[in-house]
Amino acid sequence: MAEQDIRQLTITSASQNNRAENKENDSSLRFEEVITIGDISFASLDALAKAASVCTRCDLCQTRTNVVFADGNPKAKLMIIGEGPGQKEDETGLPFVGRAGQLLDKILASVDIDRQWDTYICNIVKCRPPLNRVPTKEEAAACKEYLMAQITFVGPALILLAGSTAVQYTLQLKEPISKIRGRWFDYCGAKAMPIFHPSYLLRNDTKTVGSPKWLMWQDIKLVKEELSRLG
């Protein structure tokens, strides 16, 4: 399914794997390809973000304050995909800046992963669903090509899928995070790991052995090991 999604985009460039290997040495790579969504072509992430900022593909455009496209480093080896913007994200136009985002920053920093330099963060949907409800299938579908294009432009080696919504709309898995966390799955040419959403960890604050926070600590150590192996 994921590979079919990628083929829905018209891409003229070196392969994604070559970009991932070489992008540290050639900062122009992400501007050398053209990605087509519908009948519009984009030559860069900046152009894609500009298009998303005026998107009216679904009804979420009627209630949003800001489109929340992404944050972090487009050349990062690690991408984090969440569910969608909350109130703080809608107000600022940046993903994961509320209480859950602050916890995510602490989790990353605990293993010396810098949010701004080492990660690229985005969501399944770019606009806040009213009252922070779960995005509908139609809303996720309306945003899917933007997400696929982001993955293609960035070319991450690793992807963290934060929460069940991110897992369902990417890996098409409905198992609870507790059953599949800590495992790597193939997705769009990258290794993808489901993790607990930080908002879930805020509601389950204990750090005892076997608790969600304890399990998250085990998972983020695995992520750091994999990043270190990649160099």
Q: How do residues 123-169 score in pLDDT, each as one tens digit?
A: 999 999 999 999 999 999 999 999 999 999 999 999 999 999 999 99
Average pLDDT of the residues in 209-222: 97
**What stretch of H or E contains 81?**
strand 78-82
Is residue 23 over pLDDT 70?
A: no
The pLDDT value recorded for residue 14 is: 35
Instruction: Compute the average pLDDT of residues 34-41.
Output: 77
Compute the distance between CA of residue 173 and CA of residue 75 in angstroms, rounded to an integer.
Answer: 28
Q: What pLDDT score was predicted for residue 36?
A: 80
Phi, psi at residue 73, to the nearest 5°? -105, 115
Query: Given pLDDT bands bounded at 50, 70 and 90, which one contains residue 47?
Result: very high
| pLDDT interval class at 202 (50, 70, 90) | very high
pLDDT the model gives residue 124:
98
In which domain, by residue range, is 184 found? 2-230
Q: What is the overall mean pLDDT for the chain?
A: 88
CA distances from 51 to 44, 63, 194 (A): 11, 18, 29
Per-residue pLDDT, averaged over 13-34, amounts to 44
pLDDT at site 34: 84
Residues in the chain: 231
Nearby residues of 18 by Cβ (< 8 Å), 6 or more positions away: none
Q: Could you give the CA distance from residue 21 to residue 224 in angstroms, rounded to a whole number?
A: 18
| CATH for 38 | 3.40.470.10
Cβ-based neighbour number of residue 64 at 10 Å: 18
Alpha-carbon span 31 to 45, nearest angstrom: 8
Cβ contacts of residue 51 below 8 Å, gap of 6+? 37, 40, 42
pLDDT at 39 over 90: no
How many domains does the structure of the chain reveal? 1
pLDDT, position 74: 97
Q: CA nearest 114: which of 104, 122, 126?
A: 104
What order do you get walking across the sheet with 78-82 strand by strand? 71-72, 119-123, 78-82, 158-162, 190-195, 185-187
* Percent of the chain residues past pLDDT 70, beyond the cut: 85
pLDDT score recorded for residue 231: 86
Residue 40, both tokens: 């519009």
The pTM of the full predicted model, rounded to 2 decimals, is 0.87
For residues 61-89, give the mean pLDDT: 98
CB-based contact 125:141 (threshold 8 Å): no
